[in-house]
Amino acid sequence: MTYGTRISGLGDYRPSTIISNEDMAKLVETSDEWIRTRVGIANRRKAGADETVVTMATAAGAKAIADAGIDPTEIDLVLVATCSLLATMPHAAPRVAVALGIPSPGAVDINAACAGFCYALSFAADAVRGGTARNVLVIGAEKLTDITNWEDRNTCILFGDGAGAALVSRSADGSEGIGPVVMGSAGELSEFITMNDKLQMVMEGQSVYRWATGVLPTVVREILDRTGIDAANLDALVLHQANLRIIDSVARSLHLPESVAIGRDIVESGNTSAASIPLALTTLRETGEVTSGDRMLLLGFGGGLSYAGQVITCP
Amino acid sequence: MTENEILAGLAEIINEVAGVPADQVAADKTFTDDLDIDSLSMVEVVVQAEERFGVKIPDEEVKNLKTVGDAVNFIKAGAAA
Ligand SMILES: CC(C)(COP(=O)(O)OP(=O)(O)OC[C@H]1O[C@@H](n2cnc3c(N)ncnc32)[C@H](O)[C@@H]1OP(=O)(O)O)[C@@H](O)C(=O)NCCC(=O)NCCS
């Protein structure tokens, strides 16, 4: 027996503390103008001491469950995509599940850095499709400010905290609301994004930029191909929010029609790694740029290097 | 490929990536000061030039390409090799 899948709910959590570019300029030698023109960020959120990967994931998950209107007892699997849990054991997912009142589900963390959410979403869809789970809660949650080198202006201006979640459920009529995933990696380029011995991120920004702008348009075309639709049939493009210039470059090279909404949550949230795609999704929905039934192409990419993406239907 | 063909191709790429009018792209123009192309736009020009002209332009070579003419010569040599 196999089942169709759908995204039944979305949720997010954004820490209340906003760090502006002017605030950043007090920490390192930088300027609002440089950050806006090179990366497109205006503000990012910073989690406080009481806001952890687990609490943020829980808050985003609760909203997704409420949005779907599903009873937590019907959730069989919880997947948390994160790369910023400082103590990797105990992992986040079981703690998130218990906080949400989900009784003893399968609970796993997934680390594929900024690609984590789309990987987790594809595993969730497969689990529902194959009948392993009735509903799967997928969460991307990051407290990147814990692993940021606040003295390195090349990286510290980029990152923010937050969490976003999607509930994956069976579709009533066997239809597919989560398309085939395209995934891949380039481990030979893994030194481009690493962590130092203080567990702070270190990045060769320009090399990553080159890889991303070179490879992502091809990956997007492959996702469209496997899904069996044209770029013109898309309603939204939601890439990992690493740099607005990467997003605009990929959109340009695909010659997308004006009607396609583009996820630009980076402007207000910065780069939140595995959380950036679901955060961009809830923003697009709140602003009314996407509505129920819209087809949205998601593509996560980054550390590893690695990527994964698929087309989903907006709940 | 002649130098003029490479120059015309580069002008098209630079226009698409950075919005510089193609007729302003001449061999003696510097990418940074004359054409106002920043490091990230330069990366995109390089990525597209590699694809279009079938050459490899390594990272360490990019900083030696100060003028459009430098890029034309490098691509011409690379395409001939
Ligand atoms: C990070 C990134 C914005 C840096 O941009 P860049 O153009 O490559 O930056 P560079 O390091 O070449 O620096 C360009 C200049 O700006 C300066 N600079 C760097 N950071 C700066 C900052 N925060 N403020 C002001 N100036 C800065 C540099 O010192 C350099 O000056 P110089 O030309 O006088 O030497 C960009 O490389 C990027 O977005 N890369 C992709 C990142 C990504 O996708 N990550 C995904 C993983 S999550």
* pLDDT mean by block of 10 residues, chain A; 315 residues: 95 98 97 97 98 98 98 98 96 98 97 98 98 98 98 97 98 95 98 97 96 96 97 96 96 90 98 98 97 97 98 97
The pTM assigned to this predicted structure is 0.95
Interchain CB distance below 8 Å, B40 and A214: no
Residue A286 lies in a domain: yes
Listed residue (A313, A131, A301) closest to A234, CA to CA: A313
Number of Cβ within 10 Å of residue A176's Cβ equals 17
Question: What residues contact A5, with CB distance under 8 A and at least 6 apart?
Answer: A125, A128, A129, A168, A169, A170, A171, A176, A177, A178
Judging contacts by C-beta atoms under 8 Å, the chain B residues touching residue A207 are 59
Q: What is the pLDDT of residue B81?
A: 67
Answer yes or no: do A11 and A150 share one domain.
yes
**How far is Cα A230 from Cα A251, in angstroms, rounded to an integer?**
14
Range of the domain at A204: 182-313
> Tokens 């950075």 sit at which residue?
B18
How many whole angstroms from A205 Cα to the centroid of ligand 1?
6
**How far is Cα B45 from Cα B49, in angstroms, rounded to an integer?**
6
How many whole angstroms from A157 Cα to the centroid of ligand 1?
10
Answer yes or no: do A98 and A237 share one domain.
no
How many whole angstroms from A60 Cα to the centroid of ligand 1?
31
We report the CATH number of the domain holding residue A247 as 3.40.47.10
**What ipTM does the predicted assembly reach?**
0.89
Answer yes or no: do A166 and A199 share one domain.
no
Answer yes or no: do A136 and A204 share one domain.
no
Last residue of a domain, one of A170, A190, A215: A170
Answer yes or no: do A283 and A155 share one domain.
no
Question: What residues contact A212, with CB distance under 8 A and at least 6 apart?
Answer: A242, A243, A246, A250, A301
Residue A175 lies in a domain: no
Judging contacts by C-beta atoms under 8 Å, the chain A residues touching residue B47 are 210, 213-214
Helix or strand (DSSP H, E) at A309: strand A306-313
Answer yes or no: do A150 and A51 share one domain.
yes
Residue B78 in this model has a pLDDT that exceeds 90: no
Nearest to B40 among A214, A245, A252 (CB): A245
Listed residue (A117, A146, A151, A154) closest to A47, CA to CA: A146
**How far is Cα A115 from Cα A22, in angstroms, rounded to an integer?**
29
Answer yes or no: do A91 and A218 share one domain.
no
The pLDDT-based confidence of B10 (bands split at 50, 70, 90) is very high
Q: What is the pLDDT of residue B59?
A: 86
Exposed, middle or buried: residue A171 (CB in 10 Å: 0-12, 13-18, 19+)? Answer: middle
Exposed, middle or buried: residue B15 (CB in 10 Å: 0-12, 13-18, 19+)? Answer: middle
Residue A176 lies in a domain: no
Residue A268 lies in a domain: yes
**Known catalytic membership, residue A156:** no
Residue A243 lies in a domain: yes
Residue A113 lies in a domain: yes
Which segments of A222-302 are extended strands (E)?
236-239, 261-262, 295-302
Last residue of a domain, one of A170, A191, A217: A170
Q: What is the pLDDT of residue A258?
A: 87
A218 — contact with chain B (CB < 8 Å)?
Answer: no
Answer yes or no: do A260 and A159 share one domain.
no
Residue A257 lies in a domain: yes
Last residue of a domain, one of A135, A170, A205: A170
Answer yes or no: do A112 and A192 share one domain.
no
Pick among A154, A206, A207 to test the B interface (most B CBs inside 10 A):
A206
Amino acid at A286: E
Answer yes or no: do A165 and A302 share one domain.
no
Interchain CB distance below 8 Å, A38 and B59: no
Q: What is the pLDDT of residue A70?
A: 97
Answer yes or no: do A98 and A153 share one domain.
yes
pLDDT digits (tens, 9 = 90+) for B34-76: 999 999 999 999 999 999 999 999 988 998 999 999 999 999 9
Residue A55 lies in a domain: yes
User: How many separate domains does chain A show?
Assistant: 2
Answer yes or no: do A160 and A266 share one domain.
no
Phi, psi of A300 (to 5 degrees): -100, 145
